[in-house]
Amino acid sequence: QKEVEQNSGPLSVPEGAIASLNCTYSDRGSQSFFWYRQYSGKSPELIMFIYSNGDKEDGRFTAQLNKASQYVSLLIRDSQPSDSATYLCASSNFGNEKLTFGTGTRLTIIP
């Protein structure tokens, strides 16, 4: 079974520090990887996606992909209380438009 694994947390990070969220996947055919943020009681919203090995930066967010280790991460720099949410990792295969989601990591930024 194709799986995306995340530590459910909660992960507590002081305001201003770097939050590091991790995700592993079991299907070597996975090509694209997504990070969604979900506030309590709300729907998921896309933060970033990545499909090439290495880093991809967007403002305070950096996604990292290591296909050899089957590992994806999301770094949030200068963490703010508004970053407190559940972060969902998802993967999809090339030509397969179904996304497989992990169970999410709950992040709390402590003022």
Partner 1 sequence: NAGVTQTPKFRILKIGQSMTLQCAQDMNHNYMYWYRQDPGMGLKLIYYSVGAGITDKGEVPNGYNVSRSTTEDFPLRLELAAPSQTSVYFCASGLAASGANVLTFGAGSRLTVL
- Point out which residues bind partner 1 (CB under 8 A): 4, 8, 32, 34, 42-46, 49, 51, 88, 90, 92, 97-104
Closest to partner 1 by CB, 43 or 69: 43
Q: Which is nearer to partner 1, 44 or 84 (CB)?
A: 44
| Chain mean position to CA 30 | 15
Least separation in angstroms between CB 43 and partner 1: 4
Closer of 45 and 55 to partner 1 (Cβ): 45
Residue 34 or 79 with smaller CB distance to partner 1: 34
Distance of closest approach, residue 101 Cβ to partner 1, in angstroms: 4
CB of 14 to partner 1, least distance (A): 25
Q: Kindly state the smallest distance separating residue 99's Cβ from partner 1, in Å.
A: 7
The rounded distance, in Å, linking the Cα atoms of 40 and 6 is 18
Asked whether the beta carbons of 54 and 69 are under 8 A apart, the reply is no
